[in-house]
Structure 1
Amino acid sequence: MATRTSNDLELVHLTKRYGQTVAVNDVSHIFPPASYICLLGPSGCGKSSTLRMIAGHETVSDGAILLDGADISHLPPARRGTAMMFQSYALFPHLSVKDNVAFSLKMKGVDKETRHARAMKLLDLVAMDHLADRLPAQLSGGQQQRVALARALVTEPRVLLLDEPLSALDPFLRIRMRAELKRLQRELGITFVHVTHGQDEALALADECVVMNNAVIEQAGPPRDVWSRPRTEFVARFMGGHNVIGWDGARYAIRADEVSIAAIGLPAAVTGVEYQGDRVAVTTKTEAGEEIVSLVPEDRFFAAPINPGETVHLGWDQGRMHRLEA
């Protein structure tokens, strides 16, 4: 667990139950301040329930949520010091871009001139000030997302919560918006907590990856540590890029790009070949029934192509094998 400071967002034995179903099970974790956090895991792992409890959109069954040392778990969403950007953006269709961004300030009784000035400052930050008078229906998906982001930031939250914000965008725009989110987080110097099921998205954005499975945190740490040194078989498989094999009575992860097609080695039958641009994924099954993927550089593969049904030999440096704890 991270070292505690005065500005942390902290979960303390946090639990969420829906009847007999436990969605989040006794989770304790400190999110370092002014960092980009990605909560990731498969559907139903508890990541969205965790985010919604932090936001105040779900009640806490047990435990506490601390921000700057104060328990915010029983405060209404508007008094928590957090703001949430929803997956659907949830813009008001009858309001202009500027009035959408200023809406929460209007509800707080802020005068029109002040709230519009604040809205325009945020729209400038997300490069949408030139479209301030348009309606949401006149914007592209990426533009609507920028407006939703400005609206979430207008209240100057200490923590911004993002619920799969890139899932509705096409792949090209998704990559572009990743860079924009990271830039904004660095410029604003606040904590972003971003829920995603995309491993690539988390690796690209996060200062800390928090991998959830079966209602608990399975592993948390810097992206490179989580990806290259998975603690469990689940994390190794979920984060991708690894094979999990049995060896001398233990379970090990070996990166797919460390497995080579060799003249001698472990015999395996080729079950699939997938071209991936700069490399080719060759999926095999060993005599023991284990599936092992080898990522072969594209030029090397096409110099000696391999087809499904053929038998190959697999080799790797045993020093690159990573022993799993579970």
Structure 2
Amino acid sequence: MTLKPDLELVSLVKRYGETVAVDGISYHFDAGTYACLLGPSGCGKSSTLRMIAGHESVSDGAVLLGGRDVSHLPPAKRGTAMMFQNYALFPHLSVRDNVAFSLKMQGTDATTRKSRANEMLELVDMLPLADRLPAQLSGGQQQRAALARALITKPEVLLLDEPLSALDPFLRIKMRAELRKLQRELGITFIHVTHGQDEALALADEIVVMNNARIEQAGATRTVFEAPKTAFVARFLGSHNVVTMPEGKIAIRTDALRIRPAGAARLPATVTAIEYQGTHVALTASIPGDQEVTALLSDRDFFDAPKMEGEAIGLDWDAQEAHALAG
């Protein structure tokens, strides 16, 4: 079996004039990993992806694929393929011809192009629609066509730039499952850019959280979620409260907070909002220091002992549920 190549970013920098969009980031992606670059708009994640793809020049540092420096190679020579946010399908070409386009540019004969395109379309369950034009497809079908077009070159790394952002919420969840299944079947590295933490948590083996052009924290998805190192990561991943205590700043998961009677817990609090979410109830409360926290309770626990806005309560948590933050 041929070993798949790993991907490494070495002190990678991207400057646009005086603006530093990516500031010396380094990270190693094992072969066959599904990784998400996660962060707010303008944090540098898309610039990083485009440098890996070769669609943006590298200002400094290197992109290594299988130990080979590909930083200055054109996109078609790197062993990567990119699926763009807007899918970028040619409107005048059929789905099959869109998928086969890169092979045509390489001079592959028509019979081979058609055969390979059909294989890719079958992989993404689109073969019956091969003769349609892009305008005759739904958003999910266009995404599958773009995915087949990216995969036809047999890349070692597939790069996905916010691939689910144009889809409605229900289709987005369905396509998340399909992307994960496809990645496992192909066994190649997927690097997926998103600003949606739910998307990253659902898809990724590992996440790279970016902020202000740098990596704030990276590693196995569950490890980063369970133990955020900074207030930014704790807040951005969601499901965490960041609380300043006399002994320092800590992160506590929303589902780790326990509601106690007023005066019988670690923190006094006042209920400020209650939001019913079906299986759960989100209870927001103000605490000393002009801070606000949210406790996520099961609907059964909440309605067994309901609280009202303005009610005084106590908040507690197990000691091991609090994580000290660096900043």
TM-score (norm 1): 0.96
The one-letter code matched in structure 2 to 1:268 is A
The one-letter code matched in structure 1 to 2:204 is A
Q: Is the CA contact (8 Å cut-off) linking 2:4 and 2:32 kept in structure 1?
A: no
The one-letter code matched in structure 1 to 2:186 is L
Q: What per-residue deviation string (whole Å, max 9, x for no partner) do you get for residues 86-115 of structure 1?
A: 010111111111000000100110000001
Q: Is the CA contact (8 Å cut-off) linking 2:4 and 2:156 kept in structure 1?
A: no
**1: CA distance between counterparts of 2:149 and 2:4?**
27
Q: Does 1:169 align with 2:170?
A: no
Aligned residues: 322
The one-letter code matched in structure 2 to 1:277 is G
> 2:155 corresponds to which residue?
157
Moved more, 96-105 or 281-290: 281-290
> 1:34 corresponds to which residue?
32
Q: Is the CA contact (8 Å cut-off) linking 1:260 and 1:295 kept in structure 2?
A: no
**2: CA distance between counterparts of 1:52 and 1:19?**
17
Aligned Cα root-mean-square deviation (Å): 1.3
**1: CA distance between counterparts of 2:88 and 2:272?**
45
Percent identity of the aligned residues? 66
> 2:70 corresponds to which residue?
72
Moved more, 241-250 or 193-202: 241-250
Q: What SS is found at the alignment partner of 1:24? A: strand
> 1:302 corresponds to which residue?
303
> 2:271 corresponds to which residue?
270
Structure 2 counterpart of 1:194, from 192, 195, 207: 192
Q: What SS is found at the alignment partner of 1:293? A: strand
**1: CA distance between counterparts of 2:312 and 2:21?**
45
The one-letter code matched in structure 2 to 1:167 is S
**1: CA distance between counterparts of 2:235 and 2:306?**
27
Shift in Å, 1:303: 3.0
The one-letter code matched in structure 2 to 1:294 is A
> 1:23 corresponds to which residue?
21
**2: CA distance between counterparts of 1:78 and 1:287?**
57
**1: CA distance between counterparts of 2:194 and 2:289?**
35
Shift in Å, 1:282: 0.8
> 2:9 corresponds to which residue?
11
Shift in Å, 1:315: 1.6
Q: Is the CA contact (8 Å cut-off) linking 2:268 and 2:287 kept in structure 1?
A: yes
> 2:286 corresponds to which residue?
285
> 2:116 corresponds to which residue?
118
Q: Does 1:43 align with 2:44?
A: no
Counterpart mapping for 1:124-139 below 5 A: 124-139=122-137
Q: What SS is found at the alignment partner of 1:116? A: helix
> 1:233 corresponds to which residue?
231
Q: Is the CA contact (8 Å cut-off) linking 1:285 and 1:292 kept in structure 2?
A: yes
Q: What per-residue deviation string (whole Å, max 9, x for no partner) do you get for residues 296-315 of structure 1?
A: 11122223332322222212
Q: What per-residue deviation string (whole Å, max 9, x for no partner) do you get for residues 44-79 of structure 1?
A: 111001001111111111111111111111111111
> 1:204 corresponds to which residue?
202
Shift in Å, 1:219: 1.0
Specify every segment of 5 or more residues in structure 1 that has no aligned partner in the other structure, as ranges.
Answer: none
**1: CA distance between counterparts of 2:162 and 2:178?**
15
Structure 1 counterpart of 2:97, from 96, 99, 105: 99
The one-letter code matched in structure 1 to 2:283 is V
Q: What per-residue deviation string (whole Å, max 9, x for no partner) do you get for residues 174-225 of structure 1?
A: 1111111111111111110000111111111111111111111111111110
Structure 1 counterpart of 2:213, from 212, 215, 237: 215
Q: Is the CA contact (8 Å cut-off) linking 2:4 and 2:188 kept in structure 1?
A: no
Q: What SS is found at the alignment partner of 1:33? A: coil
Q: What SS is found at the alignment partner of 2:164? A: coil
Specify every segment of 5 or more residues in structure 2 that has no aligned partner in the other structure, as ranges.
Answer: none
Shift in Å, 1:276: 1.4
Q: Is the CA contact (8 Å cut-off) linking 1:6 and 1:69 kept in structure 2?
A: no
Q: What SS is found at the alignment partner of 2:320? A: helix
Shift in Å, 1:6: 8.0
Q: Is the CA contact (8 Å cut-off) linking 1:36 and 1:206 kept in structure 2?
A: yes
**1:77/1:105 CA distance change after superposition, 3 Å:** same
The one-letter code matched in structure 1 to 2:326 is E
Q: Is the CA contact (8 Å cut-off) linking 2:268 and 2:288 kept in structure 1?
A: yes
**2: CA distance between counterparts of 1:287 and 1:30?**
42
